[in-house]
Structure 1
Amino acid sequence: MKGAVIGLAVVGVAWGGYSLVSRSMQRGTLPQKLQTGWFYAEGSCSRLLSHQGAFSFSMSEQTVEAIKSKGIDFFTDINDPKNQATRLYFYGEWKETPVPASFFSDGLPPNLHCGQEHSWLWPNGIPEALKRPGSFYQESGNTRRLFVLPELSLVVGSASDR
């Protein structure tokens, strides 16, 4: 019995450590100008030696207000050294929503279904926000996308290595 308790404690600490490191790495892929808040959700469809998933962070009220005020112009200096991500992962031209209808050809934009299906905390309203004006996104090839949704106060990343 004592060994089982110790084993569960070790697994719990390891899982907690992994979660914190993963969250920190994901936050590092976001431009620092997108000041994030406390909320975080992540859903993964990953399999052995493959990653596929989505994550979401809340944005600070200050960031949301600046985006609503400036629109697409908010992103003009996002790649300046003081504003850019500490880990270059998402890149590309910033565009305004609505996203192309082809994003929804398989139901949800690629990899967002992982968040919706594999996270108890996944926020509602993301697909609807992507279909309306007022949000922004960038594509890094066909496998990585970053969505900034001011009406939901969220920044959402989706990625796949395949």
Structure 2
Amino acid sequence: MKRTALAWVICSAVALLLGYQTFARFYQEALIPEKLKTGWFYTRGECGGMFGTEGGFAVSIKPDVSAAIRREGLRYFRDVHHSRGHGGSRTFEHWVQTPVPESWWSDGVPPSLYCGSRAWLWPKAVIPALKAPGAYYNAKGHATLIVIPDQNLAVYLWRDR
């Protein structure tokens, strides 16, 4: 009887965790513009506390999208303005090519990038891509979307404070 109850508790906890992870992926992927067609890879990391959370997630983008970005450069993003979900509420208006300004690194790795990189499968190529030409980013408010075509990646960083 005790084993059955324990098994139910464990199965329930696992089901809740898997449900949350699935919800988080779909919610977060909806922040990415439709034109950046996403693939199968997804990982996220975050730091949280009493005063809010920050972190990031990385999702793969389709190779044909990456090839188009490499070919067109910033022109590819001229009509990439809204997130695919959430009523298009997240806007992307001013795309810039990397490298990011030195001020990003003035206090070390930006906290949201550090928190995202705590994920087990976090791509190690993100930080080097931010320091060299060839990637593109859009920073607005408390969120930054980074597209790294050479790695077929889109990285979204956020902080809610």
TM-score, normalization by structure 1? 0.91
Gaps of 5+ in 1: none
Matched to 1:5, the amino acid is A
Task: Measure, in 2, the Cα distance between the counterparts of 1:47 and 1:150.
Answer: 33
Task: Measure, in 2, the Cα distance between the counterparts of 1:44 and 1:51.
Answer: 7
Contact 2:69 2:149 in 1 (8 A): yes
Residue 109 of structure 1 deviates from its aligned partner by 2.9
Equivalence for 1:40:
42
Task: Measure, in 1, the Cα distance between the counterparts of 2:152 and 2:49.
Answer: 30
Match of 1:18 among 17, 20, 28: 20
Contact 2:38 2:62 in 1 (8 A): yes
Q: Any idea what the Cα deviations from partners look like across 1:14-43, whole Å, max 9, x if unmatched?
A: 110111011001000000100011001100
Residue 90 of structure 1 deviates from its aligned partner by 5.1
Contact 1:54 1:158 in 2 (8 A): yes
Contact 1:90 1:145 in 2 (8 A): no
Q: What is the identity percentage for the equivalent residue pairs of Structure 1 and Structure 2? A: 34
Equivalence for 1:134:
134
Gaps of 5+ in 2: none
Equivalence for 2:113:
112
Alignment partner of 1:2 is 2:4: yes
Query: Which segments of structure 1 move beyond 4 Å, counting only runs of 4 or more?
Result: none
Alignment of 1:9-158 (within 5 A): 9-48=11-50, 50-79=52-81, 84-87=83-86, 88-89=89-90, 91-117=92-118, 119-141=119-141, 143-158=142-157
Matched to 1:102, the amino acid is S
Number of aligned residue pairs: 157
